[in-house]
Structure 1
Amino acid sequence: MAKLSIDISVSLSARTALRAVLAAALLVMLGANLPGHMSYDSVAQLYEGHFHIRETWGPALYAWVLGFFDRFIPGTSLYVTASAALFFGSLAALADLRPRTSWWGVLAAALVALTPQVMIYQGIVWKDVMFANCAVAGFVLVAWAGRVWPDRARRWTLLIAALVLMAAGAQVRQNGIIAGGFAALALGWIAAHGSWRRGIGWAVSALIALILVGQVETTLSEPPKAPTDTALSTGLRIVQSYDILGAVAMDPGYRTDALAAANPAAAAIVRARAKADYSGRRIDFTDRDTAIQAGMNALPDKAFARQWIDLITRHPVLYLKVRWEDFRWVFAPPVVDWCLPVYVGVDAPAEKMAPLRLKHRYVQSDVMLSNYASWFLDTPAMSHVFYFAVSLVLAGLFLWRRQDGDVPMAALQLAAAAFASSFFIISIACDYRYLYFSDLAALAGVLYAAVDPPLPWLKARWRSEG
């Protein structure tokens, strides 16, 4: 009787393994978090998107996006799935930007997927997450456009997709334009081909297109008969009043003549209550004091603007002292637990949730996710400072190597650092999510670096092989 011998061998490449790890991580993340975690902001924006109305000064585009997915499957399950797929797909596409894939990339993919920023935050319905995902995907698309540059059809398809995503991100996160600016610079570098004038032309054109497309996206997403968008003016007044409150709290001798000229009684209340109500942690503490709220509401925007300009121009040291106090809380919070490091469950006022058929939720799976995040809170894995440093190191390595994909990925790291730095000017609260893009960009950069490490001895080896 003849023996039948079958030899089956399986060859698993590092690139295939990396994709498998990311696919598995996406499924695990969705299984752990769907239908998504929603705070008051999330529910309010879904409410606006569902009913095509405008009640808050949150980004109209984000409400529209939530409403769009809600039409197909009520709630946020489909949105969370699409948003996460965009991010995980972007990570998977990084491997194909390099000629080789190291097994270090597989390990990095697993470690990145296990961080709270990926395993939990990707399931939170926040505009900060949408911005971060759009920005990371946009840079990856720009890198891919550079890789296929001679193929005009593919190049323009990729660039248009990048433009739409980057513009959307800039519209849902006010200072998100910083990411778009760095993406435009990266595109200019790629398109230059030895001509700096051509590169500048591409970069400027890309930035103009980004602004125009963003305005079109916002205009199309505005519901009928929407009130005038006052987000910019409201945000500016909040920052100005917060800075002035901090200045008075830190230096009781600081004169608020512009406020007093507009309303002496209101200015006196602000001065009297500043020390007790100001905190670098967040401006929200003033909401608990009806007296100072009444005083601040009685003062016109122009008075705050004049006082703020006086603070910056005539007392710059005091201004910087106030800003540093605010910035250190969002960038390197002394107690991260006080800065909403993670959010799980669903919670909002009943009048918002009932029409959407949402129920308050904080079940055992949410408790487990919260406990999981707590293991990372006081480690570098949940430190903006750490990711800031990582981004700067990676940017240097990528710019030193400057091979396919390196310049856009370096631009992503520099955009993350610049984005984090911008909060020195605009920070009004220390919520961890505000710098989420900086963390996510660094994580994407770590994975990209691990796929094909940009190390000196490897570059020397490549030269010798060439």
Structure 2
Amino acid sequence: MKDLAKQLSARWTFRVVLAVSLLMMLGRNLPGHLSYDSVAQLYEGRFHVRETWGPPLYAAILGFFDRFVPGTALYVTASAALFWTCLASMPDLRPRTSWLVVAVTAPLMLIPQVFIYQAIVWKDVAFANCAVAGLVCIAHAARVWPHRVRRWLLLIAAALFLAIGSQVRQNGIIAAGFAALALGWVAGQGRWLRSAAWALGGLLAVAVLGQTLTFFSIPPMSPPQHGVSVGLRIVQNYDLMGAAALDPSYRLDAIVATSPAEAALMRQRARLDYSGRRVDFIDRDEVMTDALWRIPDSAANKQWADLIVKHPGLYLRLRWEDFRWVFAPPVIDWCLPIYVGVDAPTEKMAPLKLEHRFEDSDARLNNYATWFLGTPIYEHGFYAAISLVVAALLFWRRQPQDVAIAALQLAGVAFAASFFIISIACDYRYLYFTDLAAIAGLIYVAVDPPSPWLKSA
């Protein structure tokens, strides 16, 4: 009974810390922080229209919560509660609860990535929360695997969260892929064919469910969706401008064949417009932007393939320049490390009855976040390193639920690595999932450390 009392004491103290931190976060941040992207998607969700390239499912989610309580306060509360609930459930995955988890969790709940970011209405935060929830559900399913009903309820919840995540963030399917691998490991029980069947089945279920949710979230009479093709073309334009800027001798033969004037303009303006910080510097040059989009897709595709296949050194060089800005920005202040308040064009805000906001409370939050700039707390590499260590520890212990949390860690690292190919801007939020996965993994390890010299209370 004494040991049980100790366990409950550590476990419930941990949950009290989480509950207090959630209330503090909501109290300081509600009704949430909205940038232009946030307001535009809330507008689409409320009025059932499509006017941006943002994910329609995210707009529909905002619209769903907006029906009950106009604005984003209810959405922010539900989104944050999802993440906090995942953390609160972690002691249920382990036979013991260490007091270490209280000491680790209390300060983590106060860093900007938790205390402020969870109230920013961005799809990046929604994706991160859903991805964490999906893999935590798989961890719980692994723990109760012999109980068929509980197992399937948890797997259905995991599929739903991962499907939402894969649709609100373009490369969110990476998290689903690692979740499928974890599911295969847990369900296969050492039999490779069985593991492969579960993994492929799980990934297919997420993909189908995600596409179905997106299909039903698109408003009637919406224009055709070309988000993927447009996104690819933006990356191509960015890469080709980067190649022309970094190596003036690089030949644009495929573009010259169809658009000689545009190729000449690229040569003339590439070094002025290109920056690894963000594609926006090119977009601000309207003459150059118009010229790039006049180049036929076939010519852009051929030139891009030439760059990758025949000039891999140049391609890797420019991609590294782009990636270093998003993964480890030399000047983090240039990469939107925090966003507070509400701001968007009046024509979007007025129909929503929103007002521009940057009050004293927002200024204090912004100032609070700046205390962490220049420290490891604001370095994605720091979180990626934590994830790799956590994954190694969990694979060393290798219990079924450990595998799912280890997969979450590797998903966060792989998600960050994917930006080597797709990065077009250095905004800190793009790799938010990498940070959040590491935070969740660190708390899980602290619940019951997989080290013989650390005792559980």
Pairwise same-fold verdict (TM > 0.5): yes
1:322-342 CA-partner distances (Å, limit 9, x unpaired): 000000000000011100001
1:353 shift after superposition: 0.3
The runs of 5 or more residues in structure 2 that have no matched partner are none
Give the residue type in structure 2 aligned to 1:274.
A
| 1:176 matches 2:195 | no
1:332-376 CA-partner distances (Å, limit 9, x unpaired): 000111000010000000000000000000001100100110011
1:76-103 CA-partner distances (Å, limit 9, x unpaired): 0000000000000000011110111111
In the alignment, which residue of structure 2 is the partner of 1:208?
204
CA contact (8 A) 1:97 1:404 kept: no
In the alignment, which residue of structure 2 is the partner of 1:26?
22
In the alignment, which residue of structure 1 is the partner of 2:135?
139
Q: Which has the larger radius of gyration?
A: 1
Report which stretch shifted further, 48-57 or 290-299.
Answer: 290-299
**Cα distance in 2, alignment partners of residues 456 and 250 from structure 1:** 52
**Cα distance in 2, alignment partners of residues 158 and 415 from structure 1:** 20
Q: Percent identity?
A: 65
| 1:239 matches 2:235 | yes
Give the residue type in structure 2 aligned to 1:387.
Y
Give the residue type in structure 1 aligned to 2:181.
L
2:66 to 70, 81, 88: 70
1:403 shift after superposition: 2.1
In the alignment, which residue of structure 2 is the partner of 1:372?
368
1:382 shift after superposition: 0.9
1:404 shift after superposition: 4.5
The runs of 5 or more residues in structure 1 that have no matched partner are 1-9
CA contact (8 A) 1:98 1:404 kept: no
1:258 shift after superposition: 1.0
1:208-230 CA-partner distances (Å, limit 9, x unpaired): 11110011010011111111111
**Cα distance in 1, alignment partners of residues 307 and 335 from structure 2:** 27
In the alignment, which residue of structure 2 is the partner of 1:79?
75
1:430-449 matches, within 5 Å, as 430-449=426-445
Give the residue type in structure 2 aligned to 1:375.
W
**Cα distance in 1, alignment partners of residues 291 and 196 from structure 2:** 49
Q: What's the RMSD between the two structures over aligned residues?
A: 1.2
**Cα distance in 2, alignment partners of residues 142 and 377 from structure 1:** 34
**Cα distance in 2, alignment partners of residues 426 and 60 from structure 1:** 21
**Cα distance in 2, alignment partners of residues 111 and 127 from structure 1:** 25
CA contact (8 A) 2:186 2:400 kept: no
1:193 to 167, 178, 189: 189
In the alignment, which residue of structure 2 is the partner of 1:384?
380
Q: SS where residue 13 of structure 1 aligns?
A: helix
Number of positions where the alignment pairs a residue of Structure 1 with one of Structure 2: 451
**Cα distance in 2, alignment partners of residues 444 and 149 from structure 1:** 22
2:359 to 349, 360, 363: 363
Q: SS where residue 201 of structure 2 aligns?
A: helix
**Cα distance in 1, alignment partners of residues 201 and 28 from structure 2:** 42
**Cα distance in 1, alignment partners of residues 106 and 274 from structure 2:** 42
In the alignment, which residue of structure 1 is the partner of 2:42?
46
Give the residue type in structure 2 aligned to 1:45.
Q
In the alignment, which residue of structure 1 is the partner of 2:297?
301
In the alignment, which residue of structure 1 is the partner of 2:120?
124
In the alignment, which residue of structure 2 is the partner of 1:37?
33
Q: SS where residue 369 of structure 1 aligns?
A: helix
In the alignment, which residue of structure 1 is the partner of 2:102?
106
Instruction: Report the TM-score when normalising by structure 2.
Output: 0.97
In the alignment, which residue of structure 1 is the partner of 2:390?
394
| 1:58 matches 2:54 | yes
1:412-423 matches, within 5 Å, as 412-423=408-419
**Cα distance in 2, alignment partners of residues 27 and 228 from structure 1:** 42
In the alignment, which residue of structure 2 is the partner of 1:92?
88
**Cα distance in 1, alignment partners of residues 191 and 414 from structure 2:** 27
Q: SS where residue 171 of structure 2 aligns?
A: helix
1:297 shift after superposition: 2.4
| 1:323 matches 2:319 | yes
**Cα distance in 2, alignment partners of residues 237 and 321 from structure 1:** 20
Instruction: Report the TM-score when normalising by structure 1.
Output: 0.95
**Cα distance in 2, alignment partners of residues 404 and 252 from structure 1:** 54
1:126 shift after superposition: 0.1
**Cα distance in 1, alignment partners of residues 243 and 450 from structure 2:** 46
In the alignment, which residue of structure 1 is the partner of 2:267?
271
Give the residue type in structure 1 aligned to 2:352.
L
Report which stretch shifted further, 402-411 or 211-220.
Answer: 402-411
1:292 shift after superposition: 1.1
Give the residue type in structure 2 aligned to 1:420.
A
**Cα distance in 2, alignment partners of residues 111 and 351 from structure 1:** 41
1:456 shift after superposition: 4.5
**Cα distance in 2, alignment partners of residues 255 and 331 from structure 1:** 30
